[in-house]
Structure formats: structure tokens, C-alpha cells
Amino acid sequence: MTRKIRLGAFLPGGGQHVASWRHPDQPVDGAVSFEFHKQLAQTAERGLFDAYFLADGLAVGFGGAREGGNARVAGFEPV
């Protein structure tokens, strides 16, 4: 019997790498842009992925943010 592998994509709007936000092609609003997530999902679909996971969450403040780090984090809320 032939078994199929199921592929899922988890692509945060800001990118996987800690410094991906610095790339010149990275949109400033990538984490909260529905159009950007739609483009990522369509790219995954063209690559024959079965699922695109979009984590939801609210913006939160981190009181203990490291110097030079982000004090706030934003995320797309799909609901």
C-alpha cells in the first residue's frame, strides 16, 4: 500500500529567523497583514502543502524585554 505524506506550513508573518524582520523584502506589517498571510498560504498550496497553520494571539507587553529587543509583540487574530 502506498502511503502519502501530509505537509503543513507554519510561517510566522515576521519570519522564522530572529533577524528576518531586517530583510529588505520583508513587509513591515507582515505579522498582521491578511494579504501577506494569504500570499504565504497560496505559495504553500503551490508547493503541494496540505495545510497552512496560522497561530492566533493577542499583542502582549513584555516587561523584561532585553535591551534592543522588542517590548511588544503583535500577531494576527484570525477570529
pLDDT band, residue 37 (cuts 50/70/90): confident
* pLDDT for residue 49: 96
Would you list the domain boundaries of the chain? Answer: 8-54
* pTM of the predicted model over 0.95: no
Residue with cell 520583508: 26
Q: What is the pLDDT of residues 45-78, one digit of tens each?
A: 999 999 998 876 665 555 555 555 555 556 655 5
Question: CA–CA separation, 48 vs 42, rounded Å?
Answer: 10
Residues linked to residue 33 through DSSP beta bridges, in sequence order = none
- Among residues of the chain, what percentage have pLDDT more than 70? 70
7 and 49 Cβ atoms separated by less than 8 Å: yes
Between 77 and 4, the more confident residue is 4
